[in-house]
Amino acid sequence: MKFFIRFLLLICFLHFLGAMYAQSNKVTLSGYVKDANNGEALAQASVVIQEAKTGAYTNEYGFYSITLSPGTYTVKVSYLGYETLSQEISLVLSQTLNVELGTKVMTSEEVVILGESENDNITNVEMSTVKLDISQITRMPQLMGEVDIIRSIQLLPGVSTVGEGATGFNVRGGNIDQNLILLDESPVYNSSHLLGFFSVFNADAIKGLKLYKGGIPANYGGRLSSVLDVRQKEGNNKNFAGTGGIGLISSRLTLEGPIVKDRASFMVAGRRSYMDLFLKLSSDPDLNSNTLYFYDLNAKVNYKLGEKDQIFLSGYTGDDVFQFQDDFRFRWGNQTGTLRWNHLFNDRLFSNFTVIHSNYRYELGVPDEGDNTDPFKWTSRIINYNAKADLGWYVSPKYTLEFGVSGITYAFKPGEVRFLGNADEGDVINFEDFVIPDEHALESGAYISAEHKVNTRLSLQYGLRYSNFSSMGKGEVYVYDENLPFEEKSIIDTLYYDSWEKIKTFDGWEPRFSLNYTISEKSAIKASYNRLYQYIHLVSNTTSATPLDVWKPSGRYVKPARVDQWVLGYFRNFKNNAYQASLELYYKDFVDLLDYKDGADLLFNKTIETELLSGEGRAYGLELMLEKKKGDLTGWISYTLSRTERKIPGINKGEYFPSNYDKLHDLSIVANYRLSKKWDASANFAYMTGRPVTYPDARYVYEGLVIPNYGNRNGSRTPDYHRIDLSANYQMSTSEQKFQQSLSFGVYNLYGRNNPFSIFFRQNADRPTETEAVQLSIFAAPIPYITWNFNF
Amino acid sequence: MMKKTHINLLWIAISLIATVFVACEDVIQLETPDSEARLIVNGTLTQRNEVQYINLRYSTNYFDTIPSPATGVKVILSDDKGRADILPESPVGSGRYRIDQPGVIGNTYTLEFTLPSGKVYKTLPEKLMPITQVEKLEYQFQNENDDKERSYTILLTANEFPNERNYYRWKLYVNDSLRDEPTDLSFASDEFLQQDRGRVERTVIYFGQFEIGDTLRVEQFSISERYFDFLTLVQLQTAFVGGLFDTAPAPILGNVVNAKDPSDYAFGFFNASAIEEGTVVVEN
């Protein structure tokens, strides 16, 4: 609490300081950059003052602020995919200039320069980041036509997956739990539907996304390897509009529009799959009596209170529901809610205050129906409350300061099992209800970060984050006899903690640093370093994580993990920025990564700490990316050469061994070609080295069972992976029509390659003494799709 | 019992989701690493008054099917009451070692193996725990598939030792033929039972396909915690494979360890168990 009071005092001081500074002989040009068609804020739009050879980028909320001497300037505002706007402005006093970019000419004084592309990638200090536009993703071929941002980012350098159909993604040798996935700033614990086949993000409700793989700025913390920042649309504040479609897997509808024109707007989006309807068509009773679907609901409203204040309220809820006849039920999903207040203390001090709630939960069980024996219901939840304040102080065009604080409370409820039935009515209840004790934690952080343009060639971003994590009561902690093996039987005492009573506290300083040395308008050298701590860990020892996996906070027996990452990059544009190329080298050093004892038992385990091991890891690689941004043909080629290894005492004799997601080569080609005003066609190609698997080095027969002996973890590899996807999009309407329709169709895995998901070993069904190796492939055939889309 | 049931159900659920997609399995040819032959121990000592055997063989590479018997091993069975029998190989050259005297409930047993190479392996102690009777076996029809195969669950009613941790195993014989596929493994702990009740009624111990007229005989074993852990790993690595959520493969440590080098161990297990059994005939 003290921490927050101090912080408030700091804000007051800054407020005062800002006012003081404003009295000097400088003036400030500030405002918002928005999309002219729907009023959505444009983040990272560039605002350049040509005569002063200076400029700024808009922040996540579309705000910019530039302080300079009075004078007459040409202001150029540009954003990729939008027309650049150039306007002469006479600055005598500080002034607000709100800009709306689009196809529309705003006033007669303005000159619109068409099609000039940008070299942000050269001048920006950021590296190892990727921004993807939703319109770009929707044109790419998609599995069963479901526009999937998680699957799409896997085509970028440094991003991979353990196998198609697996949940989550791996960034530069990081496990899936090392990605901070944010939906409107709220953490999402499970980004998958159907156990990993589709992502929870309904593309129609999403404005854009940005992935940080390295050089992670100080305002982010809590995960080691990446930040995936997904923003929902704010809602069209000009006109009522809708988007939707019908596909093979799901149908979707998004509605948005002004509540009060230019002041308040809303967006609401829904999506539901109907795979269970297809199941019902099957004649197989094992299939047609099952229920299987998922849905998503996104909603957002925003209200502009005045020139200086805007509030946003957004929420998401989604579920997967699965019912296997009457025998078994399974359901899991995320819920998030974000309340955000943007406030301008003055024209150079921007602030964002956010309150977030998120809830991940699953339930499974045998319903108390029919003649089911031992019916039960098992639930598990993770509940978060998060409050944070982020401020941006635009000191001068050369110097921007960002700082803030954040506090997150966690409540982990790993498992609670209730047995159903009524003993008084004669139901037999064999089992006792039980609960794996809750765990609570508080994570707080404070950061300060500066972006400093030292001269026209050199710009720096340097920052420091302090993070603090306490595992807290209410809860219980077992004490083990140190002289005995670390197992349940060695428990000698249980310590009980009251609510908010600290069990164990960790903290750490996390320096962040990025450098850009611009050689010319066409090329730059960049470098970055970041240190991050991760205090909560996903406990999973399966090939692909399941929705049942529990998250374990650091505490008495689990240490926080830490990573140091160094990156060096060279960026070069060609042909008037139509082609953008980059080369990045990275090295990551991990400490205190969690791993599991051979054959660990992680479900329903009250003493899960006894199943865990910890060790170190390293990941290094080279990423190449060539992107074509302009013209009828657009797309990219990306190649990653990398290694990811772990060293865990107790596994493979304590020597380095490859991680599950280690892939030496990873090549992706994404291309879109505009054939005409009505037609465009796209193709993806992906190739990667097979992933590590464990082959048995011996077999033995025990009581008639042939048991493989797996001596060397991840000592072998699956065959290589490759596939091609094709798609075409047909615009059915002319651009004058209000109601726009289009068709997308394509095929995933064009040549039907049986790409390996895993290789496993079993006894032959007919000759049980013989053993065989079996390759499991998930999408082992060309999978066509067609989707009808509309918008108005 | 319950924990295993959950995992089974989850397994079925996940497989079903996979079949909705175009999942496919191909038997492939590949080379597995070589390894040195290791001793394999198969042996259960029970309280039943009958001749029992310990089977010893050597392991092979994964795709080699014919293991050689471990002959000429000096096998000593001892208990905590002073018994120490040298078990004769019977017949000589078979790798089969005969136990002439049954185990006694409450005694703790160990085996020692001296290989012709001079290496000595010892088992960790196994206590022969008591077992309750199978009070009632029932079956419950589940469904019939397109091939007219009928699925059933087998339900057990039995008393249980209250207020202590016990471990059980069941073996199913259909018309006196043991079901010994990986998916037939069935074992449980009483960890989640209502402890002071000392009883389970109609709890599921098997899921399988039977025909009308089949005689189902279930042997109920008392087992040690160590054996329970061993069977758990065996099940994870033989029955629950081939899905999206396989547990990471890992070597399975039994209870037979080199007397001088704890990092060297033999495959398999020697367990001491008491057995009771029950029978039911599947009727229409």
With an 8 Å Cβ cutoff, is B3 touching chain A?
Answer: yes
Judge: B234–A707 Cβ closer than 8 Å, yes or no.
Answer: yes
Chain B partners within 8 Å of A601 (Cβ): 232
CB A102 within 8 A of CB A77: no
What pLDDT band is residue A83 in, cutting at 50, 70 and 90?
confident
Nearest to A357 by CA among A390, A327, A324, A385: A385
Cα distance between residue A467 and residue A140, in whole Å: 39
B21 vs B173, higher pLDDT: B173
Identity of residue A300:
K
Q: Which of B62, B192, B250 sits opposite A697 (nearest CB)?
A: B62
Look at residue A110 and tell me whether its pLDDT is greater than 70. no
The pLDDT mean for chain B works out to 88
Chain A partners within 8 Å of B249 (Cβ): 693-694, 696, 708, 710, 713
Judge: B2–A434 Cβ closer than 8 Å, yes or no.
Answer: no
Q: Which of B14, B253, B269 sits opposite A195 (nearest CB)?
A: B14
Judge: A328–B12 Cβ closer than 8 Å, yes or no.
Answer: yes
Kindly report the pTM of this predicted structure.
0.89
Q: For residue A129, list its beta bridge partners.
A: A212
B91 cis-preceded (ω within 30 degrees of 0): yes
Judge: B20–A770 Cβ closer than 8 Å, yes or no.
Answer: no
What mean pLDDT is predicted for residues A277-294? 71
Interface test with A, best of B12, B22, B36 (most A CBs within 10 A): B22
Cα distance between residue A467 and residue A441, in whole Å: 13
With an 8 Å Cβ cutoff, is A771 touching chain B?
Answer: yes
What mean pLDDT is predicted for residues A441-449? 95
Checking phi first, is residue A281 left (phi over 0); if not, alpha (psi -120 to 50) or beta?
alpha
With an 8 Å Cβ cutoff, is B284 touching chain A?
Answer: no
Look at residue A105 and tell me whether its pLDDT is greater than 70. no
The pLDDT mean for chain A works out to 88
| CB-facing half-sphere around the CA of A752: CA atoms within 13 A | 6
Q: Which two tokens stand for residue A263?
A: 């002041």
Q: Please return the burial class of A784, using the count of CB atoms within 10 Å of its CB with bins 0-12, 13-18 and 19+.
A: middle
Look at residue A685 and tell me whether its pLDDT is greater than 90. yes
> Which H helix or E strand runs over B233?
helix B225-238
What pLDDT band is residue A218 in, cutting at 50, 70 and 90?
very high
What pLDDT band is residue A497 in, cutting at 50, 70 and 90?
very high
State the pLDDT at residue A116.
42
State the pLDDT at residue B8.
53
Chain A partners within 8 Å of B2 (Cβ): 374, 376, 431
What is the SS3 assignment for A394-445?
Answer: EEECCEEEEEEEEEEEEEEEEEEEEECCCHHHCCCCCECCEEECCEEEEEEE
pLDDT digits (tens, 9 = 90+) for B70-112: 999 999 999 999 999 999 999 999 999 999 999 999 999 999 9
State the pLDDT at residue A546.
76
Could you say which residues from 25 to 84 on chain B have a Cβ atom under 8 Å away from some Cβ of chain A? 25-30, 32-35, 38, 40, 42, 57, 59-65, 67
Judge: A773–B193 Cβ closer than 8 Å, yes or no.
Answer: no
What is the SS3 assignment for A744-784?
Answer: EEEEECCCCCCCEEEEEEEECCCCCCCEEEEEEECCCCCEE
What mean pLDDT is predicted for residues A684-691? 94
Residues 6+ apart with CB under 8 A from B281: B213, B214, B215, B216
User: Minimal Cα distance from A784: which residue of B?
Assistant: B22
Look at residue A1 and tell me whether its pLDDT is greater than 70. no
pLDDT digits (tens, 9 = 90+) for A43-80: 888 898 888 888 888 988 899 999 888 989 999 998 87
CB pairs under 8 A between A and B: 262
Please state, as a whole number, how many other Cβ atoms lie within 10 Å of the Cβ of residue A283: 7
Within A121-240, strands assigned E span 129-133, 159-160, 170-171, 179-183, 186-187, 192-193, 198-199, 206-212, 226-232
Helix, strand, coil share (%) of chain B residues, nearest 5: 15, 45, 40
Cα distance between residue B171 and residue B173, in whole Å: 7
Q: For residue A635, list its beta bridge partners.
A: A628, A671
Q: Report CA dihedral (B188, B193, B199, B204) to the nearest 10 degrees.
A: -50
The overall longest dimension of chain A from CA atoms, in Å, is 91
Please state, as a whole number, how many other Cβ atoms lie within 10 Å of the Cβ of residue A202: 24
CB A389 within 8 A of CB A352: yes
Could you say which residues from 146 to 205 on chain B have a Cβ atom under 8 Å away from some Cβ of chain A? 146, 153, 155, 178, 180-182, 185, 192-195, 197, 199-204
Q: Calculate how close chain B gets to A592, using CA atoms only, in Å.
A: 20
Q: In angstroms, what is the C-alpha Rg of chain B? A: 21
Look at residue A165 and tell me whether its pLDDT is greater than 80. no
With an 8 Å Cβ cutoff, is A286 touching chain B?
Answer: yes
Indicate the range of A362-366, A458-462, A519-523 predicted with least confidence.
A362-366
State the pLDDT at residue B14.
58
| CB-facing half-sphere around the CA of A467: CA atoms within 13 A | 24
Checking phi first, is residue B199 left (phi over 0); if not, alpha (psi -120 to 50) or beta?
beta
Nearest to A557 by CA among A605, A598, A599, A503: A503
State the pLDDT at residue A15.
54
CA B101 to each of CA A21, A493, A627, A730: distance values in angstroms, whole numbers, following the listed order: 97, 43, 79, 83
What pLDDT band is residue A416 in, cutting at 50, 70 and 90?
confident
Q: Which of A603, A695, A778 sits opposite B32 (nearest CB)?
A: A695
Q: Which of B30, B180, B193 sits opposite A430 (nearest CB)?
A: B193
Look at residue A322 and tell me whether its pLDDT is greater than 90. no
With an 8 Å Cβ cutoff, is B15 touching chain A?
Answer: no
CB A322 within 8 A of CB A329: yes
Could you say which residues from 208 to 227 on chain B have a Cβ atom under 8 Å away from some Cβ of chain A? none
pLDDT digits (tens, 9 = 90+) for B1-17: 444 444 555 555 555 55
Cα distance between residue A454 and residue A359, in whole Å: 44
pLDDT digits (tens, 9 = 90+) for A641-678: 999 999 998 888 889 999 989 999 999 999 999 999 89
Nearest to A12 by CA among A346, A317, A367: A346
The angle at the Cα of B114, spanning B108 to B118, to the nearest 5 degrees, equals: 150
Three-class DSSP category at B218: strand
Q: Which of A542, A548, A596 sits opposite B246 (nearest CB)?
A: A542
pLDDT digits (tens, 9 = 90+) for B162-216: 888 899 999 999 999 999 988 899 998 888 787 778 888 888 888 889 999 999 9
Q: Which of B145, B229, B251 sits opposite A709 (nearest CB)?
A: B251
Q: For residue A378, list its beta bridge partners.
A: A364, A417
State the pLDDT at residue A78.
86
Look at residue A9 and tell me whether its pLDDT is greater than 70. no
What mean pLDDT is predicted for residues A544-565? 88
Identity of residue A618:
R
Three-class DSSP category at A159: strand
> Which H helix or E strand runs over A639?
strand A633-647
CB A236 within 8 A of CB A186: no
pLDDT digits (tens, 9 = 90+) for A329-384: 888 899 999 999 999 998 889 999 999 999 999 888 888 887 777 888 889 999 99
Chain B partners within 8 Å of A324 (Cβ): 9, 12-13, 16
Cα distance between residue A111 and residue A105, in whole Å: 8
CB A550 within 8 A of CB A539: yes
State the pLDDT at residue A114.
39
Q: Calculate how close chain A gets to B273, using CA atoms only, in Å.
A: 15
CB B154 within 8 A of CB B142: no
A474 cis-preceded (ω within 30 degrees of 0): yes
Cα distance between residue A385 and residue A356, in whole Å: 6
Judge: A542–B7 Cβ closer than 8 Å, yes or no.
Answer: no
Q: For residue A291, list its beta bridge partners.
A: A323
State the pLDDT at residue B2.
43
With an 8 Å Cβ cutoff, is A784 touching chain B?
Answer: no
Q: What is the DSSP letter of A488?
A: G
Cα distance between residue A117 and residue A630, in whole Å: 8
Q: Which two tokens stand for residue B84?
A: 């120490």
With an 8 Å Cβ cutoff, is A322 touching chain B?
Answer: yes
Q: Report CA dihedral (A202, A204, A205, A206) to the nearest 10 degrees.
A: 90
DSSP codes, B108-122: EEEEEEE-TTS-EEE
Judge: B248–A596 Cβ closer than 8 Å, yes or no.
Answer: yes
Judge: A712–B25 Cβ closer than 8 Å, yes or no.
Answer: no
Cα distance between residue A722 and residue A689, in whole Å: 9
Chain A partners within 8 Å of B14 (Cβ): 195, 546
Indicate the range of A243-247, A651-655, A775-779, B191-195 predicted with least confidence.
B191-195
Percent of chain A with pLDDT over 70: 94
Indicate the range of A336-340, A746-750, B25-29, B144-148 predicted with least confidence.
B144-148
Could you say which residues from 28 to 57 on chain A have a Cβ atom under 8 Å away from some Cβ of chain B? none
Judge: B16–A290 Cβ closer than 8 Å, yes or no.
Answer: yes
Alpha helices in A201-284 (DSSP H): 275-281
Cα distance between residue A282 and residue B118, in whole Å: 63
Q: Calculate how close chain B gets to A602, using CA atoms only, in Å.
A: 10
Cα distance between residue A551 and residue A536, in whole Å: 7
B26 vs A544, higher pLDDT: B26
State the pLDDT at residue A109.
38
Look at residue A134 and tell me whether its pLDDT is greater than 90. no
CB A427 within 8 A of CB A421: yes
Judge: A696–B32 Cβ closer than 8 Å, yes or no.
Answer: yes
Q: Which of A112-126, A221-235, B228-242 is modeled with the greatest confidence?
A: A221-235
CB A565 within 8 A of CB A609: no
Look at residue A212 and tell me whether its pLDDT is greater than 50. yes
Q: Calculate how close chain B gets to A598, using CA atoms only, in Å.
A: 5
CB A165 within 8 A of CB A544: yes
Cα distance between residue A298 and residue A255, in whole Å: 10
What mean pLDDT is predicted for residues A532-560? 87
